[in-house]
Amino acid sequence: MKKTALIYGITGQDGSYLSEFLIKKNYVVHGVKRRSSSINTERINHLYQDPHEKNKNFILHYGDVTDTISVKNTIEKIKPDEIYNLAAQSHVGVSFQIPEYTANADALGTLRILESIRSLNLKKKVKFYQAGTSEMFGKTVTKYQNEKTNFYPRSPYAASKVYAHWITVNYRESYNIFACNGILFNHESPVRGETFVTKKIVSGLYKIKNKKLKTLYLGNIYSKRDWGHARDYVEAMWKILQQKKPDDFVIATGKQYTVKQFINLTCKELNLQIKWKGKGLNETALDKNGKAVIKIDKNYFRPSEVDSLLGDSSKAKKVLNWRPKINLKQLIKEMIINEHKNN
C-alpha cells in the first residue's frame, strides 16, 4: 500500500523538491496551496495531473496554515501518514516589515497542524516534520551549531520559528505525537526565490555578464553562511520521519563562506572579471572597464544582523546516514544553467 504525504508549502523551493523525491519513493503526495489571482505553481507544474485522471499521485488542495478550519478539514479528509510543514513567510528581511503575519504563519501555523493531529486523534497514524532554520541560532557564541546549541533569534522570522520548534517538542512530549524538527541551514537551488541573496547574486551577475543589468545592489556581504543544495536537504527531511523514534536534527554541510566569497565563486563560473575597491558602504566591485557592477545599499541591511552560521550535522550523519552530495561550486553551476534556460 502506498504511503500518503501531506505537504504544506508545496509551491516553494523545498516543497517542489520534496514532492519529486516522495513521488519517486512511490508516495501519493497531497499539497496545500494558497489561493492567488496570479499563478503560483511554477515550481510544481511538471508534477501536475488532471483532476479527472485515475490513480493520481499528486493532488493539490486550497488552504492556508493561517486558517484553522482549513488546516483541520484538510488533515481530517486526507488522514496522511506523514505531514511536512514547509509553509512559512520565510524571508528574514521581510519579517521585520510584516512581523505579525510572520508569527501567524510560521509560529501559530505549526500549532494549528499539531493541534489538528491531536484533536483528530491521529497521533498513532501521522508523523509530523517541522521545518526549522539555522536563523534560530542567530547571535551565536560558538563556531559550530548543533542540536544542543542555544537559540538566540535575531528577527521576527527566527523568533517565530523558535516557537514552532518548541511547540513541536512540547506536543511530542505531552501527547506522544511523532513530531520532529529539522534544523536546516541555508539551502539553495535553481528554483530559489528571486529575493533570496544567492538567487539575487547569480541572476544579477548573469544579467550583468549579458549586458541586461548595469549594477547589482547588495547589503551585508560579510555575513558568513553554510550553504547546501535543497535536493540533498529534502532527503534528510524524509529520513528524519523514517526513524523509530521522533527526534530533532541539524542538517548542514559544515562548510562556510561569506556572501562576498559566494559572489567571487559565481563570477569565476561566469568568467566575469571583477575587482573589489573601497570599504564599508563605499565598497564596490568594478568590471574590467572600471565600471561599478556591484554596490552596497544600506537599505538591504537588517535591523539586527546574523554574522555567522555554521552547522555541525554529526548526529544526522551517524543516526540518519545522511551526507550532503552537492558542493557549493556545483550548486552555483546549476543555478547559472537555469538562468541560461530562462533568459
Angle 309-310-313 from CA coordinates, rounded to 5°: 135
Predicted confidence at residue 337, as pLDDT, reads 97
Is residue 7 over pLDDT 80?
yes
Confidence grade of residue 23 (pLDDT, cut at 50, 70, 90): very high
Angle (CA) 1-70-117 rounded to 5° is 55
Q: Per-residue pLDDT averaged across 174-202, rounded?
A: 96
pLDDT (tens digit, 9 = 90+) per residue, 40-96?
Answer: 888 998 888 877 787 889 999 999 999 999 999 999 999 999 999 999 999 999 999
Q: Rounded to the nearest 5 degrees, what angle is found at the Cα of 139, between the Cα atoms of 15 and 226?
A: 45
**pLDDT at 257 > cutoff 80:** yes
For 11, phi then psi, to 5°, come to -85, -5
Cα–Cα distances in angstroms (integers) from residue 59 to residues 19, 30, 37, 273, 304, in the given order = 11, 5, 20, 47, 40
Tell if the pTM clears 0.85, that is, is over it: yes
pLDDT, mean over the chain: 96
Q: 66 an active-site residue?
A: no
- Report pLDDT for 241: 98
User: From the candidates 27, 157, 171, 233, which is the catalytic residue?
Assistant: 157
Q: Is 74 a catalytic residue?
A: no
**Annotated catalytic residue: which of 74, 133, 149, 266?**
133
Fold designation for 4-190+228-255+307-326: Rossmann fold (3.40.50)
**pLDDT per residue over 105-120, tens digit each?**
999 999 999 999 999 9
Instruction: Give the residue-averaged pLDDT of 265-286.
Output: 97
Per-residue pLDDT band for 234 (boundaries 50, 70, 90) equals very high
pLDDT in tens, 130-180: 999 999 999 998 999 999 999 999 999 999 999 999 999 999 999 999 999
CB neighbour class for 315 (10 Å; exposed up to 12, middle 13-18, buried from 19): middle
Is the pLDDT reported for residue 38 higher than 80? no
Q: CB–CB of 119/287 below 8 Å?
A: no
What per-residue confidence (pLDDT) applies to 150? 98
187-188 vs 228-229, strand pairing mode: parallel
Q: Based on the residue annotation, tell me whether 168 is a catalytic residue of this protein.
A: no
**Domain limits, the chain:** 4-190+228-255+307-326
CA 172-176-178 angle, to 5 degrees, is: 65
Instruction: Find the angle CA(310)-CA(96)-CA(93) to the nearest 5 degrees.
Output: 50
pLDDT score at 158: 98
Q: Tell me what pLDDT residue 40 has.
A: 81
Residue 106: which of 133, 138, 146 has the closest Cα?
133
Q: Which entry of 27, 82, 102, 135 is annotated as an active-site residue?
A: 135
